């Protein structure tokens, strides 16, 4: 007789222990707009756990664009881009984003996660190799699994280990190096100049996931390649609508022939319904707003540095970066959950980072800021954070 496939569902796990202790940190119910202050489970909380980096989810111009799209195009496309699901709204966004990113063309996907699935699985074929930073986003890993190529991994931002992987690729085989531009957990920026140089040396192509870089770093928020002056050297950009663009969806930007190849061969692209009218209109309006307000990325980085300085002055151990992602070390899972829960009860929402997203002794509280945060709000939140940490010394 076969084992019951549901057995794993009923096996006791860490989540059961956390629930019993009243420390399960996920699926908190939000009862207001995604903003710097929210109502969550009936109480005001300072939001330090959102990826709404430019604060555009409540912007009146962008909300109006969504209403207009709903009125003109209805609620959904009811089909894939390949068939009946291509709207003029999709074409407008793709042209404007391609121009902004200075690439030949752009294709859109229903989500950022699906973008990585669709791009990597289409580009990396049987016999090809894909090389991946160990701390890349889960969607990159799943895109590698969905491809028919062989995946090699290198230690996080370790260029000697990347070169070791590149040397393993047999002569005559295709190779794609994929990296986050800004790493979602640590907030650090990829060593893109070194990655590009090594890829050129070994004849590989480079893809950068700019989900946490668009609207944040680079000229006018153009992302990691722009930040390093390497826009002509990176072959594929991937990005998402769900962060700086305040919507839901994703995109790839590349040479027009590469984009056309993905459009016509990527299963996650061909067999998925297209981005709904309101979502693509929001992304377009957010892109236009970002272009019209080039001061926003700097404002975001300035307020992030202000919080970083305050945490350092308070003696907290953080991962250093220059992005709006500020991870605070809490080390052990139970301690992490206790601190996160106490902060939540005192009106500050932050995200707990636990295994398998990190090593068991390197747990974090991941803070992420918005351009619309004020120094007053940051001061209020940091005062609470420092006070809570005093009661949980290592």
Q: Please say if 243 is a catalytic residue.
A: yes
- 3-state SS class at 155: coil
Count CB-CB contacts under 10 A for residue 233.
Answer: 16
What is the crossing angle of helices 375-390 and 333-345, to 10°?
Answer: 130
Write out the DSSP string of 102-128. T-SEEEEESSHHHHHHHHHHHHS-TT-
- Tokens (6 digits) for 393: 């010394």
- Tokens (6 digits) for 370: 């918005």
Catalytic annotation, pick one of 150, 212, 244, 266? 212
Max CA pair span of the chain: 65
Spatial separation of the C-alpha atoms in residues 346 and 342, rounded to whole Å: 6
Catalytic annotation, pick one of 184, 242, 304, 321? 184
Q: Verify cis geometry, omega within 30 degrees of 0, for the bond prior to 356.
A: yes
- Tokens (6 digits) for 332: 């052990």
SS (H, E, C) 190-243: CCHHHHHHHHHHHCCEEEEECCCCCCCCCHHHCCHHHHHCCCCCCCEEEEECCC
Spatial separation of the C-alpha atoms in residues 253 and 258, rounded to whole Å: 9
Phi/psi of residue 308, each to 5°?
-60, -45
> In DSSP terms, which residues pair with 355 in a beta bridge?
none
Spatial separation of the C-alpha atoms in residues 45 and 39, rounded to whole Å: 6
Q: Please say if 145 is a catalytic residue.
A: no
Cα angle, residue 56 at apex, residues 52 and 62 outer, rounded to 5°: 140
> In DSSP terms, which residues pair with 366 in a beta bridge?
327, 351
Bridging pattern class, strands 250-254 and 351-353: unpaired
Catalytic annotation, pick one of 243, 247, 321, 368? 243
Whether 323 contacts 301, CB under 8 Å: yes
Spatial separation of the C-alpha atoms in residues 301 and 345, rounded to whole Å: 28
- Tokens (6 digits) for 296: 């926003």
Whether 148 contacts 124, CB under 8 Å: yes
* Residues designated as active site: 184, 212, 243
């Amino acid at each position: 007789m076969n084992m019951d496939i549901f057995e794993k569902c009923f096996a006791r796990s860490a989540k059961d222990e956390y629930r019993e202790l009243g420390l399960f940190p996920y699926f908190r119910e939000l009862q207001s707009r995604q903003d710097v202050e929210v109502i969550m489970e009936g109480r005001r909380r300072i939001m330090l756990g959102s990826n709404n980096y430019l604060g555009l989810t409540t912007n009146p111009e962008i909300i109006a664009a969504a209403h207009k799209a709903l009125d003109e195009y209805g609620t959904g496309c009811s089909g894939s881009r390949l068939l009946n699901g291509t709207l003029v709204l999709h074409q407008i966004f793709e042209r404007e984003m391609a121009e902004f990113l200075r690439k030949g063309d752009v294709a859109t996907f229903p989500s950022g996660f699906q973008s990585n699935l669709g791009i990597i699985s289409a580009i990396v074929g049987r016999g090809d190799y894909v090389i991946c930073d160990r701390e890349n986003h889960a969607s990159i890993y799943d895109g590698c699994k969905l491809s028919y190529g062989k995946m090699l991994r290198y230690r996080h931002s370790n260029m000697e280990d990347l070169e070791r992987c590149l040397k393993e690729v047999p002569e005559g085989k295709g190779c794609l190096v994929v990296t986050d531009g800004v790493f979602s957990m640590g907030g650090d920026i990829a060593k893109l100049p070194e990655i590009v140089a090594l890829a050129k040396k070994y004849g590989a192509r480079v893809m950068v996931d700019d989900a946490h870089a668009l609207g944040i770093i680079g000229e006018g928020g153009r992302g990691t390649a722009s930040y390093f002056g390497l826009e002509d050297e990176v072959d594929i950009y991937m990005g998402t609508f769900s962060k700086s663009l305040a919507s839901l969806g994703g995109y790839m930007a590349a040479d027009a022939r590469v984009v056309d190849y993905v459009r016509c061969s990527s299963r996650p692209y061909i067999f998925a319904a297209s981005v709904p009218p309101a979502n693509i209109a929001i992304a377009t309006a957010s892109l236009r707003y970002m272009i019209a307000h080039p001061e926003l990325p700097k404002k975001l980085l300035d307020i992030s540095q202000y919080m970083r300085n305050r945490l350092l002055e308070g003696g907290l151990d953080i991962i250093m970066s220059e992005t709006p992602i500020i991870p605070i070390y809490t080390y052990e899972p139970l301690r992490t959950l206790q601190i996160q829960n106490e902060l939540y009860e005192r009106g500050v929402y932050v995200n707990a980072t636990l295994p398998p997203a990190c090593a068991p002794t390197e747990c974090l509280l991941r803070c992420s800021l918005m351009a619309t945060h004020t120094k007053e709000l940051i001061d209020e939140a940091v005062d609470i954070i420092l006070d809570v940490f005093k009661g949980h010394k290592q």
